[in-house]
Amino acid sequence: MRFDYDKLRPRTRRLANGIPLYTFPDSHIDLVRLEFIFEAGSYYQQKIMQAGASCYLLGTGTEHYTAQALSEKIDYFGAYVERYPDRDQASIVFSCMSRYFDRILPLCEEVVRHSVYLEEELDTYLRKEHRRFLVNARKVSEVSRRAFYSTMFGPEHPYGVVVQEEDFKKLEAADLRKFYKKQYVAENCSIVLAGNFTEAHCKALDDAFGGKDWSGERADKEHGPQTPSFSAGRRVDVPMEGSLQASVRIGMPVCDLKSEDFPVFKVVDYVLGGYFGSRLMRNIREEKGYTYGISSYVIPLRFQPVWMISSEVKADSTELVIAEIGKEIDKLRRKEISEDELDLVRHAYMGDFMRELDGTFELAERMKFFTLIGQGPEFYERNEDVLFSITPEQIRDAARRFLDRAEFCTVTAGASSGV
């Protein structure tokens, strides 16, 4: 059964200043979801934590409201706000009942366009983040994640930079105001509106956000791709005394998501570790009992996507798990999969995909991914076409072409790392 990709195609218009507005109408629900997506991820920051703090502190003090007053006003209408900083983009989502949209929209404008970033709010944020940093420093998954990105891209690359404890003393409110003024402008913005809204609501959005009084330079005019200092075959082990678990991450850079190779690579990835019945899960979880879960997946970074295998395992099984991962990759490169397994993969892949898009808001959430890669639903259509046309022989050949273990970056964190 094919997915109806028309559901993923929004109605598109532009505000008076050129901001794209993507809409997903649904008259059967009494809710509205309004998302502002900005080219304001950590890739564009000039100071560590500048991007994340700028996003998280949106609305914690504006030109006309204190943080408490604004929060109380939003709460009064039963609305809520979510903030999502990431490496390439940052977004802020407002959700409310449809009948309160007109009352919430001016508050959205206040948060998005008139945040002021007070020093006391930043101090509170940094204290909380510092406590979280110290807690995460004892978690094998977090330690391996940080080490993986630093190893993969190099510590000076925007994707490879990791927070150090001394960085909490360096960030100032002026840094956030500078980043906000530069990145949170109309040229770096896309808007997604989903749910039960009217044409009058779209007009009100244009009135609030369609002006030219918050214009600036588009981010990617200044920041282009930077070459990562990736060292093929590199292994990094981070010992953590007393840990009963270890975290294993194995990965490499992959092709651009819009390339013809990606849908083929995605099938290989799914067979290996992309679903609950994958080869890595059957071997390392079900047969060997080394872990509760192991998976492989693609991290869709704009300028250099990454493929990764990750798992938390018994600390004394670290090397055994790495060896078994290698065996499963070699097996996939050496022997064609059966038609029965390929049929299972196809059904599991489409089942997962359809569950992720079961609802109007879930469909709308995909626009952030589309704005990231610069492509629409045709991305998924192409993946599905390849999924149902690819042969076992082509999967084996693709595994030979893409999964070269000599190219892998391997990072472990835990008591038995490197043993």
pLDDT in tens, 277-292: 999 999 999 999 999 9
Domain boundary among 190, 222, 254: 222
The pLDDT score that the predictor gives to residue 232 is: 75
Strand order in the sheet with 20-25: 11-14, 20-25, 189-195, 31-38, 90-97, 80-85
Domain ranges, residue 382 = 235-414
Evaluate whether residue 18 is within a structural domain. yes
| Domain at 206, CATH number | 3.30.830.10
User: Within this chain, do residues 155 and 211 fall inside the same structural domain, yes or no?
Assistant: yes
Evaluate whether residue 419 is within a structural domain. no
Q: Is residue 231 over pLDDT 90? A: no
User: Within this chain, do residues 242 and 108 fall inside the same structural domain, yes or no?
Assistant: no
- What does the CA dihedral 9, 92, 20, 46 come to, rounded to 10 degrees? -120
Residue 240, CA atoms < 13 Å, CB-side half-sphere: 21
Strand partners, 12: 22
% of the chain exceeding 70 in pLDDT: 96
User: Within this chain, do residues 271 and 308 fall inside the same structural domain, yes or no?
Assistant: yes
The pLDDT score that the predictor gives to residue 223 is: 56
User: Within this chain, do residues 183 and 312 fall inside the same structural domain, yes or no?
Assistant: no
Q: What is the mean pLDDT of residues 219-237?
A: 72
Evaluate whether residue 385 is within a structural domain. yes
Q: What is the mean pLDDT of residues 8-30?
A: 97
Q: What is the mean pLDDT of residues 392-406?
A: 97
Q: Is residue 331 over pLDDT 80? A: yes
The pLDDT score that the predictor gives to residue 235 is: 94
Give the contacts of 319 (CB within 8 A, at least 6 positions apart): 416, 419
The pLDDT score that the predictor gives to residue 224 is: 57
Evaluate whether residue 301 is within a structural domain. yes
The pLDDT score that the predictor gives to residue 406 is: 92
* Average pLDDT of the chain, as a whole number: 94
Evaluate whether residue 317 is within a structural domain. yes
Tell me the C-alpha distance between 61 and 118, whole Å: 7
The pLDDT score that the predictor gives to residue 415 is: 64
The pLDDT score that the predictor gives to residue 218 is: 83
Domain boundary among 164, 195, 222: 222
Residue 114's nearest CA partner among 214, 34, 220 is 214
Domain boundary among 164, 189, 222: 222
Evaluate whether residue 50 is within a structural domain. yes
Q: Is residue 416 over pLDDT 60? A: no
Number of independent structural domains in the chain: 2
Q: Is residue 54 over pLDDT 60? A: yes
User: Within this chain, do residues 200 and 243 fall inside the same structural domain, yes or no?
Assistant: no
Place 417 in a pLDDT band, splitting at 50, 70 and 90.
very low
Evaluate whether residue 304 is within a structural domain. yes
User: Within this chain, do residues 184 and 87 fall inside the same structural domain, yes or no?
Assistant: yes
The pLDDT score that the predictor gives to residue 345 is: 97
- pTM value > 0.85: yes
Q: Is residue 164 over pLDDT 90? A: yes
User: Within this chain, do residues 268 and 384 fall inside the same structural domain, yes or no?
Assistant: yes
Q: What is the mean pLDDT of residues 290-316?
A: 96
User: Within this chain, do residues 198 and 281 fall inside the same structural domain, yes or no?
Assistant: no
Among 27-36, 177-186, 213-222, 366-375, the least confident range: 213-222
Q: Is residue 419 over pLDDT 50? A: no
User: Within this chain, do residues 86 and 187 fall inside the same structural domain, yes or no?
Assistant: yes
Q: What is the mean pLDDT of residues 254-270?
A: 96
| CB contact at 8 A, 266 and 380 | no
Evaluate whether residue 230 is within a structural domain. no
Q: Is residue 74 over pLDDT 80? A: yes
The pLDDT score that the predictor gives to residue 221 is: 45
Place 3 in a pLDDT band, splitting at 50, 70 and 90.
confident
The pLDDT score that the predictor gives to residue 225 is: 62
User: Within this chain, do residues 316 and 204 fall inside the same structural domain, yes or no?
Assistant: no
User: Within this chain, do residues 174 and 295 fall inside the same structural domain, yes or no?
Assistant: no
